[in-house]
Amino acid sequence: DSYAKELDTEVLIVGAGFGGVYLLHKLRELGFQCKIYEAGKELGGIWHWNCYPGARVDTMVPIYEYSIEKVWKGWTWSERYPGFAELRKYFEHVENVLDVKKDVAFETRVVSAQFDKPSSRWIVKTEDGRTARAKYFILATGFAAKRYFPDWKGLENFKGEMHHSSFWPEGGVDVKGKRVAVVGTGSTGVQIAQETAKEAASVTVFQRTPNLALPMRQGKLTKEEQEMRKKEYPEIYKHRMTTFAGFQYDFAQKNTFDDSPEEREKFYEKLWENGGFEFWLANYKDLLFDMKANEQAYNFWAKKTRARISDPVKRDILAPLTPPHAWGTKRPSLEQDYYERMDEPQNEVVDIKKTPIVEVTETGIKTTDGKLREFDVIALATGFDSVTGGMKNMGLKDVDGVELSEKWKMGTWSYLGMACSGFPNMFFLYGAQGPTAFSNGPSCVECQGDWIVDAMAKLREQGIKYIDATREAEEEWRRKITEISDKTLFPGTSSWYMGANVPGKPREQLSYAGGVPLYEKECREALDNGFAGFITA
């Protein structure tokens, strides 16, 4: 019984999103006995929580799905970039073919966990007083498990409806004819603004940093064309692991100034027309390394985007002539008609870099210029304590009783972005110091998941009780993370990639920026060299 008050299992996984479900499936195939603890009520991770207006994935299918044949064979999508409702249906399908739920305890939140050396077991406690003991403990909690609320004065005073994007009411909020505020212009804020603008009386976006968003080029998909293409899927999935971001395409094998200005314009045009992340991840290979090259891309982006906005004030706020940061060093959103919607006269964009928010009142939001704008609905799209927040907030302790939140107070230390020194037989994926922020989710999960599964099979084969990463290996991994990142333009931009979105959080590169193939190679070497960087017992 997954809900047993005292649960004994070989493997305990936390999280039933893409990562947790993948691991459960693969480990069960090898005969490991596994259970999942999941805080939500359903499978799907972020797609279980995300039901805000317009929530959809920014990566095209079939790239954004499992490579598990049993799963893709019997599934077809209706759109190139599916919305949350269809992604939830996908997880129902996953349940039908993989029979996951029998090993999941839902509405189960972990509040503490520590490895007990004498018994060589993890002891994991839940919020409602259950205890699990497991030989292996795996965290698949995602990079957006802890939502971030700004600390504005009066936040609790608002009398209308106010919701954080990741905690939107099931069934939605009726915005028809209402005055809607959207705070934040990350991927989420852009989606909410664009969607609610279809129905609301007005939408006011509070923007601190413009999202340098790209045209999505959404499209319908037919069952026939997908069935036809399925013979290519195994090749597509193999190929995605050979690209930097686990995608169907990769950076061009040329630098920006290898081309003449005319050739460059033509190349940018092609990427732009193809849509999606091509302008980001199939662009010139120096895009994220060379400021001069980056400026060329920015200028193209600004020219294209400014042409879509007729209001000169909005145009300068949404797509300024001078780059707010190097293009592509913050996550660009994929939009459909965001700029046209914001351009409509009833909608407003407030530049809160110029006039920050000072207070939320009973009726609205006040900015430093003394203006009070009144609303019926406020959407907080202010993001997450990304990448590290989830793991730092579940009471994880090392063998000496030191909290992970303490260990990671001044910065993040892990080995291979999958293990932590002092936390034997604990693995995690799609989190700190893995390819996380720079990889397609399912690709990252499968790359790391396969490594974890192979490592565990090897441990079993060799009769090893536990492994623990060494401090030295962690130091070296951290050095590598920083060294790779320092060659790029990422450190110069304040973003959640760099931990810069949450006040007081250490500023550091949180992901492995060397690309999925290089990352995989490093991890495989450690495994093939007899668990290099780990002590074994």
357-391 in b/e form (b: 16+ CB < 10 A) is beebeeebbbbeeeeebebbbbbbbbbbbbbbbbb
> Collapsing DSSP states into helix, strand and coil, what is residue 210?
coil
Nearer CB in complex with ligand NA7: 20/189: 189
Instruction: Return the HEC string of 401-433.
Output: CCEHHHHCCCCCCCECCCECCCCCCEEECCCCC
Please pick, from the candidates 114, 141, 382, 439, the single residue that binds ligand NA7 as defined by CB under 6 A. Answer: 382
Q: How many chain residues interact with ligand NA7 (CB under 6 A)?
A: 19
Residue 147, strand partner residues: 384
Nearer CB in complex with ligand NA7: 339/423: 339
For residue 144, state whether it binds ligand NA7 (rule: CB under 6 A).
yes
We find the least distance from the C-beta atom of residue 435 to ligand NA7, in angstroms, to be: 13
Please pick, from the candidates 209, 226, 255, 405, the single residue that binds ligand NA7 as defined by CB under 6 A. Answer: 209
Whether 46 contacts 169, CB under 8 Å: no
Nearer CB in complex with ligand NA7: 134/193: 193
For residue 383, state whether it binds ligand NA7 (rule: CB under 6 A).
yes
For residue 366, state whether it binds ligand NA7 (rule: CB under 6 A).
no
59-78 residues near ligand NA7, rule: CB under 6 A: none
We find the least distance from the C-beta atom of residue 326 to ligand NA7, in angstroms, to be: 14
For residue 387, state whether it binds ligand NA7 (rule: CB under 6 A).
no
We find the least distance from the C-beta atom of residue 527 to ligand NA7, in angstroms, to be: 28
For residue 505, state whether it binds ligand NA7 (rule: CB under 6 A).
no
For residue 331, state whether it binds ligand NA7 (rule: CB under 6 A).
yes
d(CA 189, CA 493): 19
Residue 312 structure tokens:
């000169």
Nearer CB in complex with ligand NA7: 423/496: 496
We find the least distance from the C-beta atom of residue 442 to ligand NA7, in angstroms, to be: 13
- DSSP H stretches of helix in 169-290: 187-196, 223-229, 233-240, 261-274, 278-281
Amino acid at 206: F
For residue 355, state whether it binds ligand NA7 (rule: CB under 6 A).
no
Whether 13 contacts 35, CB under 8 Å: yes
We find the least distance from the C-beta atom of residue 175 to ligand NA7, in angstroms, to be: 19
We find the least distance from the C-beta atom of residue 190 to ligand NA7, in angstroms, to be: 8
Angle between helices 291-306 and 261-274 (to 10 degrees): 60
For residue 246, state whether it binds ligand NA7 (rule: CB under 6 A).
no
Residue 77 structure tokens:
């999508």
> Collapsing DSSP states into helix, strand and coil, what is residue 458?
helix
> Taking CB positions, which residue lies at the least distance from ligand NA7?
186
Nearer CB in complex with ligand NA7: 12/444: 444
Contact characters 154-193, ligand NA7, x per CB under 6 A: -----------x-----------------xxxxxxx----
We find the least distance from the C-beta atom of residue 419 to ligand NA7, in angstroms, to be: 24
Whether 100 contacts 16, CB under 8 Å: yes
Nearer CB in complex with ligand NA7: 470/493: 493
Residue 183, strand partner residues: 206, 380
We find the least distance from the C-beta atom of residue 155 to ligand NA7, in angstroms, to be: 10
Please pick, from the candidates 181, 352, 453, 510, the single residue that binds ligand NA7 as defined by CB under 6 A. Answer: 352
The phi, psi pair for 47, rounded to 5°, reads -80, -10
We find the least distance from the C-beta atom of residue 267 to ligand NA7, in angstroms, to be: 26
We find the least distance from the C-beta atom of residue 7 to ligand NA7, in angstroms, to be: 32
Those residues with Cβ within 8 angstroms of residue 85's Cβ, 6 or more apart along the chain or in another chain: none
For residue 438, give the nearest of 497, 524, 523, 501 by alpha carbon.
497
Amino acid at 38: E
Residue 465 structure tokens:
């009780």
For residue 41, give Cα distances in angstroms to 49, 82, 379, 506: 9, 21, 23, 33
412-451 residues near ligand NA7, rule: CB under 6 A: none
d(CA 303, CA 383): 28
Nearer CB in complex with ligand NA7: 150/320: 150
Nearer CB in complex with ligand NA7: 383/422: 383
User: What is the binding site for ligand NA7 (CB under 6 A)?
Assistant: 144, 150, 165, 183-189, 208-209, 331, 352, 381-383, 496, 501
